[in-house]
């Protein structure tokens, strides 16, 4: 094992103890170390970073930026140990990153997706996907958080969900509406009847009696999306499961504005509910929907006109 590989493994281990999952980042760092070992390099230089980036000529500009960011973060760590290490400049790939606007589902579209899930041939599979889509839509939970739920995490008596595996491993509690509780209870009863001997304690179970994987869920959702006729709009990517989270946030903010509530005061509560580490992540939604910007502008205009 080379010295750089040892340093890379220590670097990833330290960051993971801090709560970072680093699935893609870790893979990129180790791929970069593979390259350095192949060319016989013993330290990191800008020239080597550029040479590694050129290996993937077909990669999108966004992906190349991700690859460069992984090298930069790793190089900054190595530089604290080896002062000869060069940290590649961000200017090597002067690409302005933009977050694509999320797809905003209508209530009818969500109902169509759940109806499509009910038509799945396997009763357990059908109930699982219908309930999962409904839960994501009404709570704004991340898919990984929902799939990571175990049965004790869903307290139907207290009408509370405990998210143990949130982003950066930050746990939180998610209160749920009585109608959501009723739907989860119905699913639990059906699940236990159709799957009396599950392989694990997962709340949502697969047709193989185990925990659902994200890859299988995304594949199944793509089929449901096509079945309901949902298509890409305005050149954006196709609607995703994660857009249910965006839809929940946007609808919540719109409802607050339309009800005349003090949105600024409510935002920290929404950030906590969503598990956002930084409230800035919640503020981003204001630029994601024209309706929000229009209502915010209207509120601001009214405030100015009301001043003496």
Share of the chain above pLDDT 70, in %: 83
pLDDT digits (tens, 9 = 90+) for 138-180: 999 999 999 999 999 999 999 999 998 766 567 899 999 999 9
Angle between helices 107-118 and 123-139 (to 10 degrees): 160
Residue indicated by tokens 């009214």:
302
And the tokens for 226? 């096509």
Give residue 62's Cα distance to chain centre. 17
Give which of 140, 203, 136, 142 is closest to 167, Cα–Cα: 142
CB proximity list for 248: less than 8 A, separation 6 or greater: 136, 137, 138, 139, 140
Backbone angles phi, psi at 195, to 5 degrees: -135, 75
Cα–Cα distances (Å) from 199 to 73, 192, 206, 233, in that order, read 39, 12, 10, 41
Host H or E run for residue 161: strand 160-163
DSSP structure class, residue 204: S
* Catalytic annotation, residues: 142, 167, 242, 245, 276, 285
263: confidence class by pLDDT, cuts 50, 70, 90: confident
Ranges of each domain in the chain: 3-92, 107-228, 243-306
What is 1-64 written as a DSSP string?
A: --HHHHHHHHHHHHHHHTT---HHHHHHHHHHHHHHHHTT--S--HHHHHHHHHT-TTS-HHHH
Of 3, 18, 23, 12, which Cα lies nearest the Cα of 73?
12
Q: Calculate mean pLDDT across residues 69-92.
A: 90
Q: Contact 246/103 with Cβ under 8 angstroms?
A: yes
Question: Rounded to an integer, what distance in angstroms lies between the CA atom of residue 70 and that of residue 261?
Answer: 42
Sheet holding 172-175, edge to edge: 154-155, 160-163, 172-175
Q: Which helix (H) or strand (E) holds 170?
A: none
The domain 107-228 having CATH identifier 3.80.30.20: the answer here is no
Q: Rounded distance, CA 146 to CA 174, Å? A: 11
Please, are residues 275 and 172 in contact by the beta-carbon 8 Å criterion?
yes
The mean-pLDDT minimum among 53-57, 204-208, 280-284, 299-303 falls in 299-303
Q: What is the pLDDT of residues 7-53, one digit of tens each?
A: 999 999 998 887 788 889 999 999 999 999 999 998 999 999 999 99
Q: State in Å, rounded, how far the first CA of the chain is from the last one.
A: 73
pLDDT at residue 295 greater than cutoff 60: no
């Amino acid at each position: 094992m080379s010295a750089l590989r040892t340093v890379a493994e220590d670097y990833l281990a330290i960051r993971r103890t801090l709560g970072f999952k680093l699935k893609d980042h870790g893979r990129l760092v180790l791929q970069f170390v593979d390259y350095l070992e192949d060319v016989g390099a013993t330290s990191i230089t800008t020239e080597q970073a550029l040479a590694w980036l050129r290996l993937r000529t077909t990669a999108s500009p966004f992906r190349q930026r991700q690859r460069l960011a992984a090298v930069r973060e790793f190089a900054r760590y190595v530089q604290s140990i080896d002062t000869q290490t060069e940290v590649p400049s961000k200017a090597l790939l002067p690409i302005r990153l933009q977050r694509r606007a999320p797809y905003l589902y209508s209530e009818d579209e969500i109902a169509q997706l759940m109806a499509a899930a009910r038509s799945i041939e396997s009763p357990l599979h059908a109930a699982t996907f219908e309930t999962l889509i409904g839960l994501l839509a009404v709570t704004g939970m991340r898919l990984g958080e929902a799939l990571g739920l175990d049965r004790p995490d869903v307290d139907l008596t207290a009408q509370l969900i405990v998210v143990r595996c949130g982003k950066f491993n930050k746990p939180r509690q998610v209160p749920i509406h009585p109608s959501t509780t009723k739907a989860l209870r119905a699913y639990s009863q059906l699940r236990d009847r159709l799957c009396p001997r599950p392989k694990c304690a997962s709340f949502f179970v697969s047709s193989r009696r185990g925990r659902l994987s994200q890859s299988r869920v995304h594949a199944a959702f793509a089929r449901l999306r096509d079945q309901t006729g949902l298509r890409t709009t305005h050149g954006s990517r196709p609607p995703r499961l994660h857009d249910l989270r965006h839809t929940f946030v946007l609808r919540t903010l719109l409802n607050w504005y339309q009800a005349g509530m003090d949105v600024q005061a409510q935002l920290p509560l929404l950030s906590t509910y969503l598990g956002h580490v930084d409230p800035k992540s919640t503020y981003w939604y204001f630029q994601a929907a024209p309706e929000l910007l229009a209502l915010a502008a209207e509120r601001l205009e009214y405030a100015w006109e009301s001043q003496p």
